[in-house]
Amino acid sequence: MKFVVDKTIPFIENLFEPYAEVVYVEGKDISSDDVRDADGLVIRTRTKCNADLLDGSSVRMISTASIGSDHIDHEYCLEHGIHFATASGCNAVGVMNYVFAALYGIAARKSIDLEGKTLGIVGVGNTGSRVAAMARHIGLKTLLCDPPRAAAEGPDPFCSLERLLNEADVVTLHVPLSDQTRKMADDAFFQAMKPGALFINTARGEVVDEAALKRGIPRLGAVIIDTWNNEPYVDLDLVEKVDIATPHIAGYSYQGKQNGTALAVRAIARFFGIEPLYEFYPETPIAELEAIKLNLKGKPQGEIASVLSYNYPIFTDDFMFRMNPAGFENLRLNYSYRREFYVE
């Protein structure tokens, strides 16, 4: 067997060598020549798996160490008998950590009172559910919008997007990128938001119409953006206009990377029958990287902000990005993974 592996995936080096020939290539540089005689690919979002890459190859399985799969041409894979698997939910806690570190950080910086406020969560899957649980833990009200779940499970506890935008003091996006969600945050979306409301996007950049966002910013209280159109070539004018700007690292926790690699390795191991890797999970070498449990129930806003800032000093990430937005990919590749925090 031959596997082509994105060399930027952490914890993966030397795992497959006892069982297959392994070629390591940076994800954005994986070419049709690299995969022509490969049986499996282990990738991240920078590798576009479509006809240009896969035509004429022997690839039978693609395993991505990411929650999304919009970089994989589903229809092409189905037509050509190529299986694929994602690392769904791997970074849900890390993204939740980002949302609340950013929210309480910018509230402290701009003197925004969050007590009794309503958090509107658009997309209530793995990540959105974690965000909702944290909001409840610290006493924020929530509005949940997830039309696919509402259709499958019934209307309760979900609401319409219109109601969420009209009533929420903070709107945070946690939807996958699809034909239905692409540019969903458009002029009408931002016009429907409450004046002074906060907006957070840690989903895919393309779910936001960035021109519409720039037009909407004067009405909003604060804007926090981690994912961008046209990454890594981001709109520098938008970077200047938003309150927190980071280079698509919301899910870059140590545990999130462990989970993503573990799920990607397990999927391809099970497909090709590599039994010793069926339950693979990377070790945590030092105690300081272990996830930490927090109890923030009943705490005042200032104390919550202090605890969150200590565990994730998000303005460091914002500063490093603003200093060198052209270094988007290098900032991601050389990011120092932070430990996660969680609540019951």
Q: Could you tell me if 236 and 109 lie in one domain?
A: yes
Asked if 36 is an active-site residue, the reply is: no
Asked if 204 is an active-site residue, the reply is: yes
**C-alpha–C-alpha distance, residues 236 and 114, integer Å:** 29
Q: Could you tell me if 52 and 117 lie in one domain?
A: no
Q: Could you tell me if 71 and 134 lie in one domain?
A: no
Tell me the pLDDT band of 68, cut-offs 50, 70 and 90. Answer: confident
Q: Is 129 a member of any domain?
A: yes
- Domain final position from 86, 110, 144: 86
Q: Could you tell me if 199 and 331 lie in one domain?
A: yes
Q: Could you tell me if 77 and 111 lie in one domain?
A: no
Q: Could you tell me if 169 and 20 lie in one domain?
A: no
Q: Is 157 a member of any domain?
A: yes
- Domain final position from 86, 113, 145: 86
What integer best gives the mean pLDDT of the chain?
A: 96
Q: Percentage of the chain with pLDDT > 90?
A: 96
Q: Read out DSSP for 138-160?
A: HT-EEEEE-HHHHHHH-STTB--
Q: Considering 26, 167, 231, 329, which one is annotated as catalytic?
A: 231
Q: Is 286 a member of any domain?
A: no
Q: Is the peptide bond before 325 cis (omega within 30 degrees of 0)?
A: no
Q: Considering 174, 204, 332, 339, which one is annotated as catalytic?
A: 204
Burial 91-103 (b: 16+ CB within 10 A, else e): bbbbbbbbbbbbb
Q: Could you tell me if 229 and 207 lie in one domain?
A: yes
Q: Could you tell me if 110 and 81 lie in one domain?
A: no
- Domain holding 335, by residue range, is 92-250+297-342
Q: Could you tell me if 124 and 237 lie in one domain?
A: yes
**pLDDT at position 36 over 80:** yes
Q: Is 231 a member of any domain?
A: yes
Q: Is 262 a member of any domain?
A: no
What's the whole-number mean pLDDT along residues 120-143? 97
Total domains in the fold of the chain? 2
Question: What pTM does this model have?
Answer: 0.91
- Domain final position from 86, 104, 135: 86
- 220: which 2 tokens? 């909003």
Q: Could you tell me if 98 and 187 lie in one domain?
A: yes
- 330: which 2 tokens? 């290098």
Q: Is 307 a member of any domain?
A: yes
**pLDDT at position 178 over 90:** yes
Q: Is 42 a member of any domain?
A: yes
**pLDDT at position 344 over 80:** no
Q: Could you tell me if 61 and 96 lie in one domain?
A: no
pLDDT at 287: 83
Q: Considering 44, 46, 174, 248, which one is annotated as catalytic?
A: 248
What's the whole-number mean pLDDT along residues 185-193? 98
What's the whole-number mean pLDDT along residues 163-176? 98
Asked if 137 is an active-site residue, the reply is: no
Domain CATH code at residue 170? 3.40.50.720
Q: Could you tell me if 320 and 246 lie in one domain?
A: yes
pLDDT in tens, 217-264: 999 999 999 999 999 999 999 999 999 999 999 999 999 999 999 999
Exposed, middle or buried, 110 (CB in 10 Å: 0-12/13-18/19+)? exposed
Q: Is 275 a member of any domain?
A: no
pLDDT in tens, 311-323: 999 999 999 999 9
